[in-house]
Structure 1
Amino acid sequence: MIDDWNTDRVGRFRAEAASRGLPAEDAEEWIRSLVPGAFFAPDGDGPPLVSMGGHPSLPEGVPAPAYPLVASVDCALLPPDTAGLPLPADGHLLFFADPALDFRGQRGEAVLHVPAGTPTATRRTDSDFGPFEPQELRRMWQHLSPVDTDAFTETRWEDADDEQYELAGELEDAWTHVGGSWPTWTFALGGHPVVRNDDPLLVARDDAPQDADDWIPLATWRCPQEVRELDSGVITWLIRRADLTARRFDRVYGYVDM
């Protein structure tokens, strides 16, 4: 089940922000900070768009990954330009990770694209974690993803004060108010990162300042309660947009927060 974009949400947000007396210029800056994302949940019908957990199906000659399989995305079932990302048009995009705080930095085995028609076989992963519980995500919806309010505040105002942090929170509340009720998602492509303690984008940009602006979130996993190594953990895979276009998934940056 693929739901349509919430196309009129920006207009409703403008009206809601104005009704609350929020400055129009700050509301417009909030709108400019939005980025598209695709979000997946287990309810819905149709074929699974994302298969979570289990053991991966890998091409012959590809070594067993060092990390357990988190998700397998069926790229052929995704609409064109999903989440505004230049994703592969076919095959499966496999995401691997350890639910540990030292899963951080460039991880050459964290993402693998298996093109359609490639012979594969199920392989067990040599890892202290996993395999994770299998789950099929059949529902997908796309909408504009808001930036973390602290990140918005610190980008919008230099040396922000308490009133400006409060204003950013009011903008977020107005945006949430006009969004309707969305299911709780498990896995996402694109969008802004989920911030627990540190913003994964800022971490990646600090590690690679020479091309900091090119980093984008590729995918995010909200770890379920069964992943006891992390308390409300979030795993983020980031990539440079140029590397995504070139299919250089060996340059993915992994980040775990909790």
Structure 2
Amino acid sequence: MTPEEMRDRLGPFRDKALAGGIPVADVERWMDTARPCATLGEQADGPVVGRFGGPLLLPVGTPHPFHPFVASMDFAALPADVTDLPLPPNGHLLLFAYPENFGDGECMGSAVYVPTGTAVEERDKEGWAWFEDDEEYQEVFAQFPQETLRAAADVSLPYHSWVEIPEEPRWVPLPGHPRSEELAEVWADTCEDISAPGQLQLGGYADQEAVDTDPVATAVWCAVREAAAGRWGGGEPVSDDPADWALLAEWNPWIDGLEGATVHWVVQRADLAARRFDRTYTTVFRNP
């Protein structure tokens, strides 16, 4: 989606912001931050690009991911320039996650990239660590969606309005956007009229039920901590600057008993460009 197309799509946002008394310069600066993204769902009006569930086809010899299988998508089927991420032109992306937050910021999922031509083998989708011995996990996994994913080209603006700083007052408006709180509220009011419905988003800005600060920044803090403790990252350097990271995907599970949960897969931009999807960090926000 071109910048001009994004601005056209954001017309309802612009109109509501100006009608609410926000100066045009502030509105225009906020619109300049727009990012293209893809909304994936059964009801989207674009091409079929993957599915929730389905057979789990992993590269031969790949260790079974620790978390449950969520979805797969075919990069070659995605419309051109549907995001601003440096995604591969082909191959498949497999997403894994468990949509629960245990309060310690541990990585709750992963991503596997399967390049075109890679030899694959079908695995048991219920073959991860906890499944056989825990009834609760079985009940949750039974509610994972099983449907075709179509892609709709969309536009995304920040849902968050504050950044955390080390000194008082602790939280301040996004740099360069003194009216960020008002603008984020207008976006929250208008985004459903602008964006297509769907449970999965590729690229764009991260959202969750309570979103004052950027969920990507929260994920970065967790990734840095887990990497420093040797629990994630394979011993390689991890940037603590959220600008070096991007939202790869976001999933709203809509699962009974886990209402309010949102899954974020984030990755360093350099790792994404290098096809290092194994360096994807997964966080879950849940407001029980």
Q: Give TM-score scaled by structure 2 length.
A: 0.72
Matches within 5 A, 1:86-105: 86-102=86-102, 104-105=105-106
Superposed counterparts of 1:21-170, under 5 Å: 21-43=21-43, 48-102=48-102, 104-105=105-106, 110-124=110-124, 125-126=127-128, 127-128=130-131, 129=137, 130=141, 132-138=144-150, 140-151=151-162, 154-156=172-174, 167-168=182-183
Contact 1:149 1:172 in 2 (8 A): no
Please point out which of 262, 275, 278 is paired with 1:234. Answer: 262
Contact persistence 2:100–2:261 (CA under 8 A): no
Instruction: Tell me if 1:189 matches 2:207.
Output: no
| CA displacement at 1:88 relative to structure 2 | 1.3
Q: What's the counterpart of residue 8 of structure 1?
A: 8
Secondary structure in 2 matching 1:110: strand
Superimposed CA distance per residue, residues 79-108 of structure 1 (whole angstroms, 9 cap, x where no aligned partner): 23331111111111000011221484557x
* Inter-CA distance 154–148: structure 2 relative to 1 (3 Å threshold): farther
Does the 8 A contact of 1:111 with 1:249 survive in 2?
A: yes
Task: Give the CA deviation at 1:219.
Answer: 0.2
Equivalent residue number for residue 201 of structure 1: 216
Q: How many residues align?
A: 244
Residue number in structure 1 paired with 2:229: none
Aligned mates of 1:37, 1:255 — CA distance in 2? 20
**In 2, Cα distance between the equivalents of 1:168 and 1:215?**
23
Name the Cα RMSD after superposition. Answer: 3.1
1:173 and 1:204 map into 2 onto residues whose CA distance is: 22
Q: Is the 8 A contact 1:205 1:213 kept in 2?
A: no
AA paired with 1:252? T
Q: Specify the SS of the correspondent of 1:244.
A: helix
Identity within the alignment, %: 33
What does residue 233 of structure 2 align with? Answer: none
Unaligned runs of 5+ in 1: none
**Most deviating of 113-122 and 191-200:** 191-200
Deviation at 1:119, TM superposition (A): 2.3
Is 1:215–2:245 an aligned residue pair? yes
Q: Is the 8 A contact 1:81 1:87 kept in 2?
A: no
Contact 1:76/1:91 (8 A) holds in 2: yes
- Provide the C-alpha distance between the structure 1 equivalents of 2:261 and 2:51, rounded to a whole number of angstroms: 19
> 3-state SS of the aligned residue for 1:30?
helix
Kept after mapping to 2: 8 A contact 1:104/1:254: no
Q: Work out whether residues 106 and 251 of structure 1, in 8 Å CA contact, stay in contact via their aligned partners in 2.
A: no
Decide whether the 8 Å contact of 2:161 with 2:181 is kept in 1: no
Unmatched runs of 5 consecutive residues or more in structure 2: 132-136, 164-170, 225-238
**1:124-175 C-alpha deviation (Å, 9 max, x unpaired):** 132434363421112x2222201114338943479x8xxx57633564267x
Is the contact between residue 216 and residue 239 of structure 1 (CA under 8 Å) also seen in structure 2?
A: yes
Cα distance in 2 for partners of 1:181, 1:17 equals 14
Check whether the contact 2:162–2:180 (CA below 8 A) recurs between aligned residues. no
Partner of 1:250: 278
For the 8 Å contact 1:39–1:141, the answer to whether it is kept is: yes
1:45 to 1:166, Cα distance in 2 relative to 1, 3 A: closer
Shift of 1:115: 1.2
Q: Which amino acid aligns with 1:70?
A: V
In the TM superposition, what is the alpha-carbon distance from 1:16 to its structure 2 partner? 4.9
1:168 is paired with a residue whose SS is helix
Helix, strand or coil at the partner of 1:33: coil
